[in-house]
Each structure stands twice: as C-alpha cells, then as structure tokens.
Amino acid sequence: MNLKRLLKKEMMYPEIHFTSQEQLFEFVGNELGRAGYVTPTYKEKISEREKSFPTGLRTKTVDVAIPHTDPETVKRAFIMVMKLTEGIPFNQMGTFPEDAVIVYPKLVFVLGFDHGDIQLELLQGLMTLFNNQLAMKKLLEATCAEQLLNILEQELVLIAK
C-alpha cells in the first residue's frame, strides 16, 4: 500500500497548542468530522481507546503519541500530524492507569484506519520513522504544514522501498 495517499496538507498542524488530551481529541473529532473522515462517535471512541490502550511512546529523539480507534468510526483512512508547542501528558504504550508512565509528546500522529488490513503496515512504517533520528529532528524543526507533509512523504517513500 502507498502510505503517502493517507497524507494531506490540510491534515498537518505545525505549532498547535492544547492543554489536555481532551482538548486535543475535541479538536481532532471536530476537524475530522467536518472534513467527512469520521463518524459522530469518533471523538468518544478515540478518547475511550486511549484510556484503555495508551499510545504515548518515547523515541530516541522526541516523545510521540499515535492515538487511533477502531475502523467502524472512520469513513476514510487518514494520518493527521500535529506538532505541539508544548507536550501534553499521555500514558506510555503498554502501561495502565495504576502503573502509568507519563510521556509528553511533541508530535502526535492521529491515525484513521477504514479497514484493519492497513493498520499493521502503517504502524510498522511509523515505527521505522520514529527510529530515524534525523527525520524526527526535521519534523520537529518544520514550521509549516507543507514542510511536515514533504518530510513525511519523503520518509514514507524510503520506508516502503
């Protein structure tokens, strides 16, 4: 699959500020809903899933989060990328509320799978990206949506080879 097809300039948000996950998910649900990517229940489902299966992740370069939910709330597949002005708390992947490790992602990749078979390929591609310190540094230095998009398109093409 061509992961680049999931990237759109209008889904890139450099220098965006949130004070909480709730505020982030509210924004994401509203934007994606308005654009026709998700159903009205998406906001609730992504928030519920994050509580049960946290998606915060430490990388060598920067903390990231990859929130997503089940395909039934997604009408069209997408990757929304946000570079936060300040990290907000996410529980680290593989930990649970009672023993949670908190990470403060500066990059959030909101993933929308409209069918399950793209999920594994997309997550594998992103994990390869997250291990590329130079690419992650470039993403952190990006100042506009076009730069974020260009970096991701380049990197995902290299990953697919």
- Does the pLDDT at position 68 exceed 90? yes
Segment 87-103, tens digit of pLDDT: 999 999 988 777 889 99
Q: Is residue 161 part of a domain?
A: no
Segment 119-147, tens digit of pLDDT: 777 888 889 999 999 999 999 999 999 99
- What's the pLDDT score for residue 118? 74
Ranges of beta strands (E only) in 17-140 are: 56-57, 64-65, 78-84, 90-91, 102-103, 107-112
Structural domain of residue 142, as residue ranges?
Answer: 3-153
Spatial separation of the C-alpha atoms in residues 13 and 11, rounded to whole Å: 7
- Does the pLDDT at position 13 exceed 90? yes
pTM of the model as a whole: 0.93
Q: Is residue 30 part of a domain?
A: yes
The structural domain count of the chain equals: 1
- What's the pLDDT score for residue 157? 65
Average pLDDT over the chain, rounded to an integer: 91
Q: Is residue 120 part of a domain?
A: yes
Q: Is residue 50 part of a domain?
A: yes
CATH number of the structural domain spanning residue 33: 3.40.930.10
